[in-house]
Amino acid sequence: MENETNKLSAQSVETTPDVAGIIVNITGCIPQFKAPNCANNCLAFKYRQINGACNNRYHPAWGASNTLLSRWLPAQYEDGINEPKGWNPDFLYNSFHLPPVREVTNKIIYASNKDFQEDVLFPHIIIEWGQYISHDLAFTPQSITKWPTMWGVDCRATCDKHKSCYPIKISTNDSISKSGCMPFYRSTAACGTGDENIILGIPSTENPREQINTLTSFIDASTIYGSTTAVESKVRNHSSIEGLLRVNDQYSDHGRDYLPFVDDTPSLCLQDSVSDERIECFFAGETRSNEVSSLTAIHTLWVREHNRLAKSLKNLNPHWSSETIYQETRKIVGALHQIITIQDYIPKIIGPSAFHQYIGEYQGYDENTDPSISNVFSTAAFRFGHATIPPTVHRLDSDYEEHSLYPNLLLHEVFFRPWRIIKEGGLDPLMRGLLKQSAKLQTQEELMNEELTEKLLVLNINGSMDLASLDLQRGRDHGLPGYNDWREYCGLPRLKTSADMKTAISDLNTVRKLMELYGHPDNIDVWLGGLVEDFSPDSRTGPLVACLVAKQMKVLRDGDRFWYENPMVFTEAQRLELEKHSLSRVICDNTGLTHVPPDAFLTGKYPDDFVSCDSVPSLDLQAWKENTDEGTSCGLPVKIENGDFVLCSGAVLIYFCYSGYCLEGHEELVCQGNQWSTKPPFCSDINECVEEMNPVCHSSATCKNIPGSYECLCADPYKLAENKRTYSGQLPRASIASIILVAILLASWAAMSWILVFRG
């Protein structure tokens, strides 16, 4: 009877899109990605989709954006469904309460800006690359409820736990705030998981709360290109015949490009207090590009690299269409991200022994490997880098000395301040600082500096935040199992006593404080436990973090059909050229720097350990020169209006239309003899306003079709949201009443379903 009730409930929701939409809006959950039917044309095997779908032809959703973070161990919630660790004051773990996360910060993690050791091996840029590549792999949005009048309160204005709020308790004498708490939004639940599926009448004990990764899992440079067609469209320069990305049309960096600004202004980025001139947030393929100036610099570097390569490819293959150049360049840039990460970055972080044990040599694409990002990797293991961030961002002159015009800055002075790049010297001083200055050495006595634990800036939240507390609370929010469970998962011995702990953590004071706070090793949060372990030989992580990071990297490599080493992706000549390239070469080609370290991820003294850019190897794009003799008997394909084509080979091409247009005619043309198999297709405008099942505009608005798109014309009391498609503002009373009525009916229906289930 239970199974039948569940089937009926699910079917009812699936067949009523309006009700399903109301449920999504009321609960604030994120719908999971529905796997599409994968295309079988030649492009499907040549270029990856922007949203990561169909990378695996048998499991099209694996690694795609808006899919679940994978679980390597079952989630642990205090009610088995939804409530995070530490939620219930009476809940005990091995007879102990979990310590408040801010108390853990104050007693174990906090370190003064003055009390940190420089890493003698690795420079600041290796930390920035870790942050940058983590933003290529995962992002989980927070639960900012869409209907605060019906579901609780604004999490910024309360210290009480609510549906979406899990505030971080702090003592009244804590210097960071006098309110008694720091605001904390829970990560948005995937629809149909945790308590989000109670309204559907589905018993949720079998389906605890899960979180969504809104990005593609793959190392595919989605930081540049985005993980959705909408973002990809916004980063591209569609008027370019060279397949270029958009750049800033107001400012330049000594003739070199900056990222474009966001469209919606005024933006939230902070402004120069001594100037009335506004500098808006930069726009990139990933939303966090403005977090710190050094991260913005890496984003800018790669947009310049894309455009540099694209122009060179156009000169090399003048017959290539804009789309072909864009896709080929994107493919090259994605491969360079893979090479820099797996060959140059990861071995230094986890050490050669762990790399050999968990990753090893590439054995080819494995269609049975799920490349999805794991919850523990995103939420805990790969956040080890937070303990290696130095408190200062250095800006250096051409002699790699402190800049006379642009002095060094504390970290909190570069949060969300793009004006500092445009008005204070551009990229070059920042890049020199990243290359020469050391990263912070992670030690058990000095885990995270006060710039991050006392002065972290989060937009939309007044006051300072504590990154360490946020990391700990996020792990509890996601239901991550404890430290010992993950050690066991990695084949490491469980630590049961203080004596056992000392075998993994040599600092006795740290062991003592851990046991005083947590009571039992099983209770320790996995992020903190992994962080304080002794480093493995020739690495910057302990054995637990090394295991979790390495296992994730292996599945990202082996489960990616478009991994650069797969023989089907590049020719052997192209692969050899790609492997010559390096981050140092990218810096040489896209900044004013003339001397760099041969390996950007190794600390060196200037000028002894730096080399001229003239001696840094680069890839020869001749390996991408196309043989124009093949298929030329048919002549060049005809360009179509509002669309383009991509050559799959000299004799086969695929036509497509831009967003908002529909292809009429044959998609694929083949060169037969001296003529193409059929006439070129054409692109007709899609009238989105005639869609009845899923209207593009709100029912209160009038839809106006325009070439390639549409407009939603609304009247009071509604107003267009930032995406120009949905609506925000005060709902009419009748609408609120209708929604509440539907919610009550659904809740009643769910309750009856539960009663029937349990009685059955």
> pLDDT tens for residues 89-139?
999 999 999 999 999 999 999 999 988 899 999 999 999 999 999 999 999
Least-confidence region, from 454-468, 472-486, 567-581, 680-694: 680-694
Query: What confidence score (pLDDT) does residue 18 get?
Result: 46
Q: Is the pLDDT of residue 262 over 90?
A: yes
Q: Higher confidence at residue 197 or residue 114?
A: 114
Q: Which residues are catalytic?
A: 135
CA–CA separation, 53 and 645 (whole Å): 21
Place of tokens 């899109």: 17
646 closest CA partner among 624, 667, 660: 667
pLDDT band at 351 (very low <50, low <70, confident <90, very high): very high
| pLDDT, mean of residues 553-564 | 98
CA–CA separation, 49 and 55 (whole Å): 8
Residue type, 473: Q
Q: pLDDT tens digit string along 49-75? A: 999 999 999 999 999 999 999 999 999
| pLDDT, mean of residues 14-29 | 51
CA separation (Å) from 389 to 392, 419, 625, 660? 9, 22, 42, 44
Tokens of 645: 């084509």
159 closest CA partner among 145, 172, 169: 169
Q: Is the pLDDT of residue 727 over 60?
A: no
CA–CA separation, 552 and 546 (whole Å): 10
Query: What confidence score (pLDDT) does residue 268 get?
Result: 93
Q: With beta carbons less than 8 A apart as the criterion, state whether 204 and 197 touch.
A: yes
Neighbours of 719 (CB within 10 A): 11
Whole-model pTM?
A: 0.89
- Three-state SS for 507? coil
Q: pLDDT tens digit string along 567-613? A: 999 999 999 999 999 999 999 999 999 999 999 999 999 999 999 99
| pLDDT, mean of residues 554-565 | 98
Fold of 632-686: Complement Module; domain 1 (2.10.70)
222 closest CA partner among 295, 302, 293, 280: 302
Tokens of 88: 């219930």
Q: Is the pLDDT of residue 14 over 60?
A: no
Query: What confidence score (pLDDT) does residue 299 get?
Result: 98
What is the percent of the chain where pLDDT is above 90?
A: 70
Task: Show Cβ contacts of residue 455 under 8 Å, excluding neighbours closer than 6 positions.
Answer: 410, 411, 412, 464
Tokens of 196: 């989000």
| pLDDT, mean of residues 273-284 | 96
Tokens of 431: 């890049």
Query: What confidence score (pLDDT) does residue 461 get?
Result: 84
pLDDT band at 211 (very low <50, low <70, confident <90, very high): very high
pLDDT band at 634 (very low <50, low <70, confident <90, very high): confident
| pLDDT, mean of residues 405-418 | 97
Query: What confidence score (pLDDT) does residue 631 get?
Result: 46
Least-confidence region, from 123-137, 518-532, 728-742: 728-742
Mean pLDDT estimate for the chain:
88
Select from 1.10.1530.10, 3.90.1150.10, 3.20.10.10, 2.10.25.10 the CATH code of 695-729.
Answer: 2.10.25.10
- Three-state SS for 704? strand
Phi, psi at 212, each rounded to 5°: -100, 140
Q: Is the pLDDT of residue 719 over 70?
A: no
The answer regarding whether domain 31-141+187-573 maps to CATH 1.10.640.10 reads yes
Task: Show Cβ contacts of residue 173 under 8 Å, excluding neighbours closer than 6 positions.
Answer: none
Tokens of 624: 């991408």
Least-confidence region, from 255-269, 422-436, 474-488, 705-719: 705-719
Residue type, 592: G
- Three-state SS for 120? strand
Q: With beta carbons less than 8 A apart as the criterion, state whether 367 and 57 touch.
A: yes
Query: What confidence score (pLDDT) does residue 20 get?
Result: 45
Query: What confidence score (pLDDT) does residue 594 get?
Result: 97
Q: Is the pLDDT of residue 226 over 60?
A: yes
Cα angle at 631 between 670 and 237, to 5 degrees?
Answer: 80
pLDDT band at 732 (very low <50, low <70, confident <90, very high): very low
Q: pLDDT tens digit string along 643-684? A: 888 887 767 888 988 878 999 998 888 888 888 888 899 999
Least-confidence region, from 104-113, 427-436, 533-542, 662-671: 662-671
Domain edges within the chain: 31-141+187-573, 632-686, 695-729
Query: What confidence score (pLDDT) does residue 744 get?
Result: 56
Query: What H or E segment, with its residue span, contains residue 293?
Result: helix 293-316
Q: With beta carbons less than 8 A apart as the criterion, state whether 220 and 562 touch.
A: yes
Q: With beta carbons less than 8 A apart as the criterion, state whether 184 and 338 touch.
A: no
Query: What confidence score (pLDDT) does residue 495 get?
Result: 98
Query: What confidence score (pLDDT) does residue 638 get?
Result: 82
Task: Write b or e for each residue in 317-340: b if 16 or more Cβ atoms lie within 10 A of its Cβ, otherwise e.
Answer: beebbbbbbbbbbbbbbbbbbbbb
